[in-house]
Chains A and B, each alone.
Chain A
Amino acid sequence: MLLVSMLALLFIFSLIGMEIGWAIGFAGFGYLVLAQFEPFGTPMILFSQMMVAGLDSFILVAIPLFIFMGELMNKSGVTHRIIDFAGALVGHIRGGLANVGVVANFIMSGISGSALADAAATGTVLVPAMEKRGFPPAFSSAVIASAATVGPIIPPSISFVLLGAIVEVSVGRLFMGGVVPGFIMFVAMFTLTYWISKKNNYPVEEKATIRQQGNAFARGFLPLLAPIFVVGSIVGGVATPTEAAAIAVFYTLFLGVIVYRNLSLPRILEAAGLAAISSSVIMLTVATSQIFAFLAVREKLGEILTSAMLGVSDNVYVLLLMANILMLFLGMFMEILPIMLILAPILFPLFMKLGVSDVHLGVVMVLNLMIGMITPPIGLNLFVLSAISKVGVIEIFRYAVPYFITLLGVLMLITYVPELTLYLADLVIPVK
């Protein structure tokens, strides 16, 4: 009864517009209030305790640092450099700026680690430019919103860092596990964009000369080293994910202050402030989700869900399909962090008992949740692009349907061919 009330409160308050972090907290709060009428009620002090204990983790410190790095990159004009580089590379191929959007997001994914940040950064520049070149704004928004979903799959990834903290999976192995799936997503979306553009005769850009391509590459080369430092230092055992994030922040500061000379102290402070606020909003959700997850475990939600799934089938492939459907469904209505924080402690033990690798499941989970970012009613990437292009969310989704179907195909491939995820992870960081 208490569990049902808690789940109902979560859904109702999330959907009626309470801030997501507080809606999750209120579900836990409602549970604790109702529990006071039980013979052995859970003490209310648990709520305050988990609000601190749930965040008191060194690995979580990596998240504001990665966001800070992304903000510094934005302030030092890296987004424009990367878009120029992508333009010189693929602007002349049918689809022009739409292809540039896909490539720029693929490159950005190695820098920011956040789908929302990538969607906002590339969308702000490319959507108005695409509109000027005659692309329908809903299509431009759909391309950018979909292309940005690759962000948390390619390392570094805030989602993988968080998942590593929740279920104690090696963040380095998760990072490596995301490389091939991320590349497959990129190829699939690029091919689809080319096909749609050819069918609709969308414009192309003039082909850049070798010299222009070289110049664009040179301008965008140094920022591209940031993900190599991050992944390299983690994989090489030189630094923890949090330390790697700090190294990346200082590398970005070096680029902005010394190389590009466009990062002044006020701009650095502004970037730090924006990153601190964005990260705090995420952390409120993390803290309240920890309370929710703790109470869900206490109410044996994991066992209930596990026996319900095993009641349908004990075949691992069927169970994976059910897990995918569950995550896609929840992804339509909830933000990704609470889903991850609530479902990961339940699904990981079940699937690991069945022989599924934690890294494989982690990548499948994040990919599911990324698809949720382009599905209404709660698709955050759609909201970001809607705010930029002033086109309605449903209209953008109508153009994003082919991308949604393509990403579902990639999801099935990644789910049922675990080698695509595990080959590189096992090769670079073998399980001890």
Chain B
Amino acid sequence: MDESPASDSLLARADIVLDRALYYTSALLLIMIAATVMYTVVARYVFNSAPLWAEDAPRVFFLWMTYLGIAVATRRGQNIRVTFFVEKMAPKPRFYLDMFMHFCVLAMMVTILWNVWPLIRLNLAGTMLSTGWSNAVSWFPLPVGVALMLIYQSRQAIQSYRDYRAGRFHGESSGLNEAGGD
């Protein structure tokens, strides 16, 4: 089923907006981590009372930053991988290997998503004493990040397939079109 150029360009724009939103959210979370940790040091030595949330809040921000950041890295193909051996392979076996690896990663992601819900339900019941936040705030970044990665990884697999069909496949299936500007 072919998509019209208009919907294609709308999707592409939405994709770029999502990429940038995730990128800048990760950036802001890192700045918040730096600010909260610094505030703790200042509060301890200047006001003589470190906040109760000194370690808990930065840890929560850190988990959110990490899983949103991994999603961006997946989209942009910035994860570290070894291409030394596969570069020596012919395009056809390389394509099949690439698809197999996409399948393995997707299977892993689905398993993570499936199994995280009982953990979230379990943690929804409790709250952090220091912040008053639900314990589940530390667990939500995983399904959110993995769901985004699932989308990006699937798109990369589709892109590889299209490239292979068009005779353009050279194994660089990691990384979708650049968002630009970053």
Contact = CB atoms under 8 A, between A and B. Distances in A.
Contacts of A272: 26-28, 30-31
A239 B78 CA distance: 33
Nearest to A376: B84
B97 A17 contact: yes
A279 B66 contact: yes
B63 A56 contact: yes
A52 interface: yes
B81 A19 contact: yes
A17 B105 CA distance: 12
Category for how many chain A residues contact B: 35 or more
Interface residues of B, number: 58
Interface string B99-129: 0010011011001100110110000000000
Interface string A270-306: 1011111111110111000000000000000000000
A26 B106 CA distance: 10
A380 B33 CA distance: 29
A181 interface: no
Given A45-B119, A277-B72, A283 B108 contact: no
Interface in A243-267: 243, 245-247, 249-250
Interface in B1-56: 23-24, 26-31, 33-34, 37-38, 40-41, 45, 55
B58 interface: yes
Contacts of B108: 22, 25-26, 29, 47
A423 B81 CA distance: 39
Nearest to B141: A52
Contacts of B84: 376-378, 393
Contact of A61 (B58, B67, B72, B98): B58
Given A276-B30, A276-B69, A22 B79 contact: yes
A57 B63 CA distance: 10
A275 B69 CA distance: 9
Interface in B142-182: 142, 171, 174, 182
Given A17-B83, A20-B80, A277 B34 contact: no
Contacts of B82: 14-15, 17, 20, 377-378
A280 B174 contact: no
Nearest to B58: A61
A220 to B, nearest CB: 24
A269 interface: yes
Interface of B: 23-24, 26-31, 33-34, 37-38, 40-41, 45, 55, 58-59, 62-63, 65-70, 72-73, 76, 78-86, 97-98, 101, 104-105, 107-108, 111-112, 115-116, 118-119, 138-139, 141-142, 171, 174, 182
Closest 4 CB pairs of A and B: A280-B69, A19-B79, A246-B37, A272-B27
10 contacts: A15-B85, A17-B82, A29-B111, A48-B112, A61-B59, A268-B31, A274-B182, A283-B66, A284-B70, A378-B82
